[in-house]
Amino acid sequence: MRKLIAGNWKMNGTQAALVEVEALLRLCAENLPAETDVLLCPPATLVGAMASLCAGSGVMVGGQDCHSQSSGPHTGDVSADMFADLGAGYVIVGHSERRADCGETDAVVRAKAEATQKAGLVPIICVGETREEREAGKAVSVVCEQLAGSLPQQASGQAYVIAYEPVWAIGTGLVPTKGDIAEIHEALRASTPDPVQILYGGSVKPANAVEILSIPNVNGALVGGASLKAKDFYGIVSPS
Ligand code: PGA
């Protein structure tokens, strides 16, 4: 299965940050490992400019969240159709920061994933346990329940990606053991009949990318902090 290395810029970056994209495009043009796809998900404000910059390069662009409707009276929201209009190919849905900051439930995440597919884009559906849930031995059951509640109802046949992101590993420098990542990815793999990519996310850096990407059923990475600088992100895309 191809690997997908996706960068999530979160609420970081103004137009000045597009120089990092130009630098990444130069690096990828020199050498993009076989069977590897690269995706950048900047704030909504930069999706259009980034998509224009990346057009024809093979580097893809996506949104970080979308509304479940395609248009309407939802001040401040952006729809998947609008991202499609800008040239995006993916939308991240159900990131733990949105589940926590905006109270997004599995049902809300499912509606957003379905809206993303309806717009012709691929949702990256995020699941992950908290530290308390892991310490209570509930990590596998929590992520499988989240996935079951968040998957589009008619998922089969339509493209989607799953991202396993333990909440306690995001932005902390902490990473689960190889065995713990393998256990969750195996359980997620068994939870879906579709041959989907399952990404790992949470403190992925150039220094740990080779090890993480070699774990069975890990088909790529969702990268936050280390995706902001071209050199670091490329170090994950093409780890040396
Ligand atoms: P991080 O974030 O790489 O900074 O830990 C990952 C994410 O939240 O997608």
**Block mean pLDDT (10 aa), the chain, length 240:** 97 98 97 94 98 96 98 98 98 97 98 96 98 97 97 80 97 96 97 92 97 97 98 94
Q: What is the pLDDT of residue 155?
A: 61
Tell me how far the alpha carbon of residue 4 lies from the centroid of ligand 1, in angstroms. 15
Decide if 183 is catalytic. no
- For residue 194, the model assigns a pLDDT of 84
166 lines ligand 1 (CB under 6 A): no
Model-level pTM?
A: 0.97
* C-alpha–C-alpha distance, residues 23 and 193, integer Å: 39
Nearest to residue 6, comparing CAs of 117, 68, 91? 91
Q: What is the pLDDT of residue 239?
A: 86
Q: Which of 95, 204, 208, 232 to mutate to test the pocket of ligand 1 (most atoms within 8 A of CB)?
A: 204
C-beta neighbour count of 135 within 10 angstroms: 11
- Give the nearest ligand 1 atom to 222 CA: 9
Task: Tell me what pLDDT residue 112 has.
Answer: 98
Per-residue model confidence (pLDDT) at position 230: 98
End-to-end CA gap in the chain: 21
Bridge partners (DSSP) listed for residue 222: 6, 201
Active site residue 165: yes
Q: With beta carbons less than 8 A apart as the criterion, state whether 91 and 58 touch.
A: no
- What is the model's pLDDT at position 83? 98
Q: What does the alpha-carbon distance between residue 222 and residue 233 come to, in Å, rounded to a whole number? A: 11
Give the Å distance between the CA of 99 and the centre of ligand 1.
14
